[in-house]
Structure formats: structure tokens, C-alpha cells
Homo-oligomer: A and B are copies of this chain.
């Protein structure tokens, strides 16, 4: 039963780690995490087995949230598949404009963790597959002739927008990506006059 009480050490740790690993990368020190979460050292190792376990759990949590963000964003955009897909880029624009925006946390994690067998890569990979399927499904509803290919293109635009948003302040990457996304959606062949 998950009643609404004061958050325990586990939740505090997850919340602090979500913020700190995004702001400073997965290289944050354990001490900083403990201090930010106001949690005893021991609790970390009891709940997550170590720093790596905490990081992977944070990724699991945020991927689930972000996937839900895609669903919510599209749901709020109505029924038209085209509008729903373009709404993703409008939402992206907002996210990039946020002062704490620092790029895609999953790309950052993948680039920062050199070991290809580290469990965090499996989490990020599955997340991308889920988003890809989400987009693909919507493209199918739109009647797109190549939904899988187009989904890959949209995902590339999302990644590009997040990267540009993190590295080129002052431009409007989401807007740029949105224009290109329109070209993706307007592929010939799905004759929905």
C-alpha cells in the first residue's frame, strides 16, 4: 500500500539522484547524493546495492516518466495523428527553453559510461525502442507508407533537437526539427487527400 506519507530515504535518494545526475552527470559523487537527499550512507547500499544500482533505478524511473510524457503530450493534442506527432516537437521546445535544460539525460549517460555492458545501456536502449514504437504506431494511424523508417527519422530529429538545444543556445532547435518533421509526415503515398 502506497499511502501519502513523508517520503522515505529511498524516494529522497531517487529524487536527489534524478536532479543531480542530470545537472552534473552520472559522475556525481556519492557524498553529494547523500547530502542532497539527507540520507544516511548505509541506506543507499541497503536500498540500491551501490551507486550503480541507484543510477540504473533513476534511469528506469525517468524513462517511464518520459515515455508517459510522450503519451500525455500526444493525448493532449487531440485525435489527428499529424497534430499529435507535431505536438511532440512543441513540447520539446518548452523543455529546451526550461532554464535547467541540459540535453538528453540518456544520451549523456550512454556517452559517459564507457563500458558497453553496463546495465544502464539496456535501460536507455529499451526506452528508445519504446518511443520509437510509440511514434511508429502514430505514423501507422496517419497512414504513412513507411512508418518504421519515418519513426527513425522523427527520433533522429528529437535527438538532434536535444543536442542542439544543449550546445547552441539562442537558436530554436525544436522549431527547426518540427519543420523537418512536417516533411517526414508529408511523405507521398498515404493519399489522405
Contacts and interface: CB of A to CB of B under 8 A. Distances in A.
Contacts of A160: 156-161, 163
Given A108-B111, A111-B102, A114-B23, A153 B179 contact: yes
A111 B114 contact: no
A156 B176 contact: yes
A164 B155 contact: yes
A57 interface: no
Contact of A111 (B111, B125, B149): B111
A161 B159 CA distance: 8
- Count chain B CB atoms within 10 A of each CB in A102, A149, A159, A184 and give the residue with the most: A159
Contacts of A114: 23-25
Interface stretch (A8-16, A39-47, A167-175): A167-175
Copies assembled: 2
B163 A149 contact: no
Nearest to A113: B25
A153 B23 CA distance: 27
A110 interface: yes
The bracket for how many chain A residues form the interface is 35 or more
B180 A153 contact: yes
A168 B110 CA distance: 11
A183 interface: yes
A153 to B, nearest CB: 5
B152 A171 contact: yes
Interface of A: 23-25, 27, 102-104, 106-108, 110-112, 114, 124-125, 128, 149, 152-153, 155-164, 166-168, 171, 173, 176-177, 179-180, 183-184
13 contacts: A25-B111, A27-B112, A108-B112, A111-B112, A111-B166, A125-B167, A152-B164, A153-B176, A153-B179, A156-B173, A159-B163, A163-B163, A180-B184
| A-B complex: 4 closest residue pairs judged by Cβ atoms | A160-B160, A159-B163, A156-B160, A108-B111
